[in-house]
Amino acid sequence: MPLITWSDKYSVNVKSIDVQHQKLVNIINNLHDALSSGKAKETLAKTLNELIDYTKKHFAYEETLLKSNGYMAFITHKSTHDNFVKKISQMHFDYNSGKTNMSIELMNFLKDWLVNHINKTDKEYSQHLKSKGVN
Ligand code: FEO
């Protein structure tokens, strides 16, 4: 069973961003599957790496869209992104250096962060982007 099930309730009403959010959900689900089925450390490290890479790509895309459309809360939104990237990069470093194991707690942290970020922080820009004709 997937850790997160995508549904339209997570839509921010911008097609390209919804597609990227769905991909992030898929990567987190893959990481959860790998952890639950006792996959090798290399598989977990690779999937965590994929999550970091894709998260950075998504954040860069979203930030460009927000900035180029004059979104007022851009700086606050970007700093939320930067803090999350710092956290998952540290998580990756700790995992690779054997300081920590992947755990259900870490998976729940990733799930909660993403779902809360989409539902609250990302949804706050929906109306603004809509008013600029972005969809
Ligand atoms: Fe979709 Fe602000 O990340």
HSE (side-chain half, CA atoms, 13 Å) at 53 = 7
Complete DSSP assignment for 32-95:
HHHHHTT--HHHHHHHHHHHHHHHHHHHHHHHHHHHHTT-TTHHHHHHHHHHHHHHHHHHHHHH
Ligand 1 closest atom vs CA 17: 1
Is-above-0.85 flag for pTM?
yes
Cα 99 to ligand 1 centroid, rounded to whole Å: 29
Cα 120 to ligand 1 centroid, rounded to whole Å: 10
How far apart are the C-alpha atoms of 62 and 75, rounded to whole Å?
Answer: 12
Residue 81, pLDDT score:
98
**Pick from 70, 51, 52, 65: nearest CA to 16:** 65
Cα 52 to ligand 1 centroid, rounded to whole Å: 13
Cα 25 to ligand 1 centroid, rounded to whole Å: 12
55-68 pLDDT, tens digit per residue, is 999 999 999 999 99
75-130 pLDDT, tens digit per residue, is 999 999 999 999 999 988 998 898 988 888 889 999 999 999 999 999 999 999 99
Q: Find how far residue 36's CA is from the centre of its chain.
A: 20
The angle, 0 to 180 degrees and rounded to 10, between the axes of the packed helices 15-36 and 41-68 is 160
With a 6 A CB cut-off, is 62 part of the ligand 1 pocket? yes
With a 6 A CB cut-off, is 121 part of the ligand 1 pocket? yes
Residue 14, pLDDT score:
97
